[in-house]
Structure 1
Amino acid sequence: MVSQSTEEKPVFGQPDENTLKQFHDVLMRAERGALMADAHVGYIMPIGGVMAYQNKVSPVGVGFDIGCGNMAVKLDKALSSFDTSAALDIIEERIQFGVGKQNPDAPSDHPIFDAPEWDAFPNKKVASSLKQTAREQLGTVGSGNHYVDLFHDEDDHIWIGVHFGSRGFGYKTARGFMNLSRGKDWNASFEQKEVLLDLDTPLGQDYFAAMNLAGRYAYAGREWVCHTLAEAFDATILDEVHNNHNFAWKEEHDGQELIVVRKGATPAFPGQRGFVGGSMGDISVILEGVESEQSKRSLFSTIHGAGRVMSRTQAKGDYRGRNLSKSAIKPNMIYDRLQEQGVELRGGGLDEAPQVYRQLNDVLNYHQDTINIHHYLNPIGVVMDGPEQFIPNTMI
């Protein structure tokens, strides 16, 4: 079901007024657009927004976490013989979570560090600094809604799922090019404004090259995490599904070449698979795009998650944690939900509680004419940045 739709401006789901306002504002400067059912307010462009331009790209549309995306791998391990707590111990030991964290085991000789796109940065000093950040943070997971999850599917196979992007390297790249697009120095203070960069200009070409580098870097980090953990679990990977959802692509739609920016939206061309995660206590899915009129109107895009219904500040009170009496979410609310689902949580914060997100199945229903579901993945363990820890069946 699509709740609001025209051929040029499809809107899936029931977005709130502010999200719709953001969408229509950005759409005024684009050729075509679509809004996914998990959409909510973002910076300039809503999360869940898809915009198509003629030979132009929007750095603020792609956003700061360039190449943020999901990866899931299926293991040759069965739920019946899998020790979830021991596996979560390994994840906490091997993987670094949080802002600015470094990975001492990162492969410093990864081919990404010899890519020609490093020449897209304004000078050698900037490129060298960014490369150092990238080397240190490859394979680290950030904060917020970034995670490493353990699941089982309908055949009780174990899956690893991860969600994160290009870390500090991507953030600094986005910030720098946003400054350059407005005639400022690379490291200047800035405010977010939409500037469309023509890909026939040197600046547009440099941004697009740097963005692609950051996207491949994000891929490399997620692959490192999944493959490192599979090896640590003494498991063989049977299947992999991998996708960016904060990125811009050159694509053809209705015979026209367009630059398609997806901010919190998963590419879903016919036959293309994607991994979409729900909240820590909800299902996740492996899906595949299909051919349909609605798919064309969505620019062959689908959701990237369940979508927030509560802001972080509302969920946890004062953002520095000084006034938790005003938080809408209490720790026992997370515990009760995860206890019911049999999910063990390491880390996580009040602002990532299941209650702040929509139910994934409800969101997927709005896109049922554009995708097929291959696997439903049920969570058994979640690791995120944060202080809380909830372990089922260990408390009275």
Structure 2
Amino acid sequence: MRNIKEDVTASGEIIALVENEIDYAIYGEEYIEEGARKQMDIAMKLPVSVAGALMPDAHQGYGLPIGGVLATRNAIIPYGVGVDIGCRMALSIFDIPGENYFGNEAKYKRELIAHTKFGAGQSFKGDERAEHAVLDSNEFGATRFLKGLFDKAYGQLGTSGGGNHFAEWGIIEFAERDEILNIEKGRYVALLTHSGSRGFGATVANHYTKLAKEPCRLPKEAENLAYLDLNSEAGMEYWIAMNLAGDYASACHEVIHERLTKAIGAEVLAKVENHHNFAWKETLNGEELIVHRKGATPAGKGVMGIIPGSMTAPGFLVRGKGEVNALYSASHGAGRQMSRKKAFENITREEMKAVLKAHDVMLIGAGLDEAPGAYKDINKVMAAQTELVNVVARFEPKMVRMADDGSRED
């Protein structure tokens, strides 16, 4: 039986944390900062926590650390999902040999700029607006709150946010034929995108975090882990809103990929995508639990995902091994080794340009906070999770577009 320690303040009773926290698996422990470990330790003391894991790209965030995976019993934590609900990766592999990229950079640059829009709050106007079946979802009428977000969602459909969101052309290499994807050994031009549910998802996250904090009063160090009972009205509303935000994030990627595929006149050989800020109902040890993956890639047995590096480091197309100790998860990227503030203080524009030149990468936009040096070594991160995923192919970024206005939505 878990030992509960009562914690009461003058303002009233606070939900007690558990004294004997549950053990959890840590991958790449030597690469994980103390702040992320402490946040995960606190999360494991929640009365609703059942199991957890920390990925090798983990770093400190709000509430649950980025790179944290947490399974709870009948409870959903809005900040355990993250502010950018449904933030995800999407990869399209084209029927274009990798060598075709070289000598055609001007075309790829022109179309990338023409068919993407970046920055917090950015939206399309009038005839620029995209159409997609997600806009017809009945869930937009489920609550007055969601109805009020429809216009924002419509305008931002097919746009990307600020911070670490990107759209990039690159070359993906298969060292051998992949039977499941039906792709031959070789190098192909590919499009990789990273973004989420934009202002719609952020508004949902902040609204329901505020609602969660009213009945779920936790000690100060745990207050951003406030949770909603899934049987409560607010809990059911959040679950509907979160899933709609996930569908919306997927639709945003679909719009971008369809527009760019048409622009370059290509056929898609295969497309792979995955959420990494979301919660799922999954069975663990015979019990249905809510598995939060905040900055973690689903890696169930045979499940495909994309783990990017930085703007100059490789990304990896992977297939999950279904490791139960990791709660069927893997890292969602390289992870930050330097905060945004420290990156601005320690990296110069000249240093960033030199790294880009050395790797033959063209950059459109992005601030120093997204410089390659701000991120961990993706090769070390991948080496720390060989138990979790098999590498299927390696993606090399060649042309990267990010927000250039300093906005942040990650």
- Shared fold (TM-score greater than 0.5)? yes
The one-letter amino acid paired with 1:97 is F
Give distance in 2, aligned partners of 1:257 and 1:152. 40
Q: Which residue of 1 aligns with 2:339?
A: 311
Q: Which residue of 1 aligns with 2:84?
A: 65
Q: Which residue of 2 aligns with 1:296?
A: 324
Query: Are 1:9 and 2:5 an aligned pair?
Result: no
On the 8 A contact 2:277/2:295 being kept in 1, the answer is yes
Partner secondary structure for residue 170 of structure 2: strand
Deviation string, structure 1 residues 117-172 (Cα, Å, up to 9, x no partner): 22443x2xx33330000000001011111000111122220110000000000011
Q: Which residue of 1 aligns with 2:113?
A: 92
Q: CA deviation at 1:8?
A: 4.1
Q: Which residue of 1 aligns with 2:75?
A: 56
Q: Which residue of 2 aligns with 1:158?
A: 189
Deviation string, structure 1 residues 303-356 (Cα, Å, up to 9, x no partner): 00001011101111xxxxxxxxxx211111111111111111111110000000
Q: Pick from 130, 133, 136 the counterpart of residue 114 of structure 1.
A: 136
Q: Pick from 359, 365, 370 the counterpart of residue 388 of structure 2.
A: 370
Aligned length: 360
1:276-295 map, 5 Å = 276-291=307-322, 295=323
Q: What TM-score results when the alignment is normalised by the length of structure 2?
A: 0.85
On the 8 A contact 1:88/1:383 being kept in 2, the answer is no
On the 8 A contact 1:76/1:158 being kept in 2, the answer is yes
Query: Are 1:134 and 2:153 an aligned pair?
Result: yes
Q: Which residue of 2 aligns with 1:103?
A: 124
Query: Are 1:20 and 2:41 an aligned pair?
Result: no
Q: What TM-score results when the alignment is normalised by the length of structure 1?
A: 0.88
The one-letter amino acid paired with 1:349 is G
Q: Pick from 229, 250, 256 the counterpart of residue 198 of structure 1.
A: 229
Deviates more, 1:275-284 or 1:175-184: 175-184
On the 8 A contact 1:60/1:192 being kept in 2, the answer is no
The one-letter amino acid paired with 1:297 is N
Q: Label 1:100 to 1:80 Cα distance change in 2 as closer, same or farther (>3 A).
A: same
Which segments of 5 or more consecutive residues in structure 1 lack a partner in the other structure? 1-5, 185-190, 317-326, 389-396
Deviation string, structure 1 residues 173-224 (Cα, Å, up to 9, x no partner): 111112222349xxxxxx9632211111121111101100000000000111
1:227-242 map, 5 Å = 227-242=258-273
Q: Which residue of 2 aligns with 1:254?
A: 285
Deviates more, 1:278-287 or 1:151-160: 151-160
Q: Which residue of 2 aligns with 1:174?
A: 205
The one-letter amino acid paired with 1:257 is E
Query: Are 1:274 and 2:297 an aligned pair?
Result: no
Partner secondary structure for residue 253 of structure 2: helix
The one-letter amino acid paired with 1:303 is S
The one-letter amino acid paired with 2:346 is A
Give distance in 2, aligned partners of 1:209 and 1:55. 15
